[in-house]
């Protein structure tokens, strides 16, 4: 009888970890590590020898006053592992300190972004099989897990393996169309915290700027129906919109206050007007989703429009799904109207029922999807074993029967 598999979902901002079969992760910690020597962070190879065994902190401890004299590093950038030495140390404490697990006794399910490289998959396999000696490993694509997580709120006959997943976290946003669990194409990525930091950096301790921007985003921001009308409302009654963020300086221990006004709705607007951050970005998330679906085979497009699944913390803004559905419906209706006009009224296209799916496990959808799958017998059939790794090497993780090949 197997002990429950360990499910670890590493994100740019947060790492979710726990045991399969649970509805929520046991631990949710920042994907940060605090080290004594800044030179260590320049390394990129494998091995544990470059950091003293106990001379580092991870997660919330890395951001606490106890680590004030340490260098805070982020081993994951834009969803991809950026430093494997730090990542290995991070996983070490996740397993031994947080989960209190013996890795030799548990199968592991790790998640990966849609465009993860084959080399990164192999690095993950080397660390898990050689450093932690796990008996089995499956590296699963986040979008597929998020799609399956949305099934919990649907009857069995309404659960579809076709849909478009919008997975948006701290560092990257992916739009992934999936048809019967095959990946079709991948699109844009955008960052959002920069806007909040730029607008309200005065009065915020520089070493806490990113942390404060994340907190403001999560607590106070929302998506408005119309940005121009919202500014008019704000100008007329600013007292209704201004919220106050209170924090403590980690170094001086003195309190500081930040007033948050129009940033509450201006920050999330980056999804719909990315040019607010940079002129290099001109395509809204609504247009990106529409363009991705239009690039897919024509026979799956309607199914993709009808099952757009939200996943990740940055999709949790109030009314985010409603605004996205409205914009996509408008784009779809305009295209159908143009088609009818070009046919001289002879063709009456059938309306598309655009549906953006929000659900109660949306924030941790990827982890929950992994928890559900790792709790099935099928998981053990498709996971790569230590024996397979010893026979074929790290290349065995380049292909998976369910999640497809990235080689």
Q: What is the mean pLDDT of residues 2-6?
A: 92
Q: First CA to last CA across the chain, in angstroms?
A: 33
Q: What is the mean pLDDT of residues 21-30?
A: 94
- 200 in Cβ contact with 223 (< 8 Å): no
Report the b/e string of 226-238 with b at 16+ CB within 10 A.
eeeebeeebeeee
pLDDT over 90 at 213, yes or no = no
The partner residues of 243 in beta bridges, in order of sequence, read 260
Cα angle at 73 between 67 and 74, to 5 degrees? 130
pLDDT for residue 180:
55
Domains 6-141+364-397 and 148-188+283-357 share a fold: yes
Dihedral angle, C-alpha 88, 90, 92, 94, nearest 10 °? -140
Distances (CA, A) of 5 to 29, 247, 332, 382: 19, 38, 43, 13
% of the chain with per-residue pLDDT over 70: 84
- Confidence at 48, pLDDT banded by 50, 70, 90: very low
Closest by Cα among 155, 162, 194, 198 to 178: 162
Exposed (0-12), middle (13-18) or buried (19+): which is 311, by Cβ within 10 Å?
A: buried
d(CA 30, CA 11): 9
pLDDT, tens digit, 9 for 90 and up, residues 270-320? 899 988 877 877 889 999 999 999 989 999 999 999 999 999 888 999 999
Cα angle at 189 between 334 and 44, to 5 degrees? 165
* Domain boundaries of the chain, sorted by first residue: 6-141+364-397, 148-188+283-357, 190-270
* Residue 370 vs residue 406, higher pLDDT: 370
Closest by Cα among 356, 368, 16 to 165: 356
* Residue 136 vs residue 361, higher pLDDT: 136
- Return all residues near 206 (Cβ < 8 A) that are at least 6 apart: none
pLDDT over 70 at 67, yes or no = yes
* Residue 378 vs residue 214, higher pLDDT: 378
pLDDT for residue 407:
42
**Could you give the residue ranges of the DSSP H alpha helices within 25-135?**
84-93, 118-126
pLDDT for residue 158:
54
* Residue 377 vs residue 204, higher pLDDT: 377
pLDDT over 90 at 152, yes or no = no
- 28 in Cβ contact with 13 (< 8 Å): no
d(CA 133, CA 149): 29
The CATH fold assigned to 6-141+364-397 is Nucleotidyltransferase; domain 5 (3.30.420)
pLDDT for residue 63:
83
Q: Where are the beta strands (DSSP E) in 187-265?
A: 243-248, 255-260
pLDDT over 60 at 259, yes or no = yes
Name the region of 393 (left: φ>0; alpha: ψ -120 to 50; beta: rest).
Answer: left
**Whether domain 148-188+283-357 has CATH 3.30.420.40:** yes
Alpha carbon of residue 347 to chain centroid: 41
pLDDT, tens digit, 9 for 90 and up, residues 93-126? 999 999 999 999 999 999 998 888 899 999 999 9
Domain at 190-270, CATH class: alpha beta
Greatest CA span in the chain, whole angstroms? 74
Global pTM value: 0.82
- Confidence at 55, pLDDT banded by 50, 70, 90: confident
Instruction: Average the pLDDT over each of 200-209, 215-224, 231-240, 372-381 and give the range with the smallest value.
Output: 200-209
- 365 in Cβ contact with 312 (< 8 Å): yes
pLDDT over 90 at 49, yes or no = no
- 12 in Cβ contact with 170 (< 8 Å): yes
pLDDT for residue 406:
43
- Return all residues near 22 (Cβ < 8 A) that are at least 6 apart: 371
pLDDT over 80 at 40, yes or no = no
What is the DSSP track for 222-237? B--S-HHHHHHHHHH-
pLDDT for residue 188:
35
């Amino acid at each position: 009888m197997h002990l429950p598999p360990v499910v670890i979902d590493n994100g740019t901002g947060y790492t979710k970890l726990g045991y399969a079969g649970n509805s929520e992760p046991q631990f949710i910690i920042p994907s940060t590590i605090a080290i004594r020597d800044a030179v260590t962070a320049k390394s990129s190879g494998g091995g544990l020898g470059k950091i003293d065994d106990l001379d580092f902190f991870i997660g919330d401890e890395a951001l606490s006053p106890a680590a004030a004299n340490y260098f805070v590093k982020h081993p994951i950038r834009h969803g991809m592992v950026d430093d494997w030495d730090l990542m290995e140390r991070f996983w070490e404490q996740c397993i031994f300190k947080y989960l209190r697990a013996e890795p030799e006794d548990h199968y592991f399910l790790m998640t990966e972004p849609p465009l993860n490289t084959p080399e990164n998959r192999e690095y993950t396999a080397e660390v898990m099989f050689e450093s932690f000696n796990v008996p089995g490993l499956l590296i699963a694509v986040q979008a597929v897990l998020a799609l399956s997580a949305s099934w919990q709120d649907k009857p069995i006959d309404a659960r579809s393996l076709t849909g478009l997943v919008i997975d948006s976290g701290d560092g990257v946003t992916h739009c992934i169309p999936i048809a019967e669990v095959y990946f079709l194409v991948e699109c844009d990525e955008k960052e959002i915290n920069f806007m909040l930091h730029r607008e309200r950096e005065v009065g915020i301790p520089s070493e806490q700027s990113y942390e404060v921007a994340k907190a403001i985003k999560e607590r106070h921001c929302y998506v408005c129906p119309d940005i121009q009308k919202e500014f008019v409302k704000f100008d007329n009654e600013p007292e209704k919109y201004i919220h106050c963020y209170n924090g403590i300086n980690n170094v001086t221990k003195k309190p500081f206050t930040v007033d948050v006004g129009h940033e509450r709705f201006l920050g999330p607007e980056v999804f719909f007007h990315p040019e607010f951050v940079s002129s290099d970005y001109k395509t809204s998330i609504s247009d990106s989703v529409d363009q991705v679906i239009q690039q897919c085979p024509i026979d799956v497009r309607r199914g993709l429009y009808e099952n757009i699944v939200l996943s990740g913390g940055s999709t949790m803004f109030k009314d985010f799904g409603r605004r996205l559905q409205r914009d996509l419906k408008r784009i779809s209706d305009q295209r159908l109207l143009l088609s009818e006009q070009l046919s001289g009224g002879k063709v009456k296209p059938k309306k598309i029922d655009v549906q953006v799916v929000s659900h109660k496990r949306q924030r941790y959808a990827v982890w929950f999807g992994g928890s559900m799958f790792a709790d099935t017998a099928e998981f053990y059939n498709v996971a790569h074993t230590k024996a397979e790794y010893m026979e074929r090497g790290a290349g065995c993780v380049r292909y998976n029967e369910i999640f497809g090949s990235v080689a």
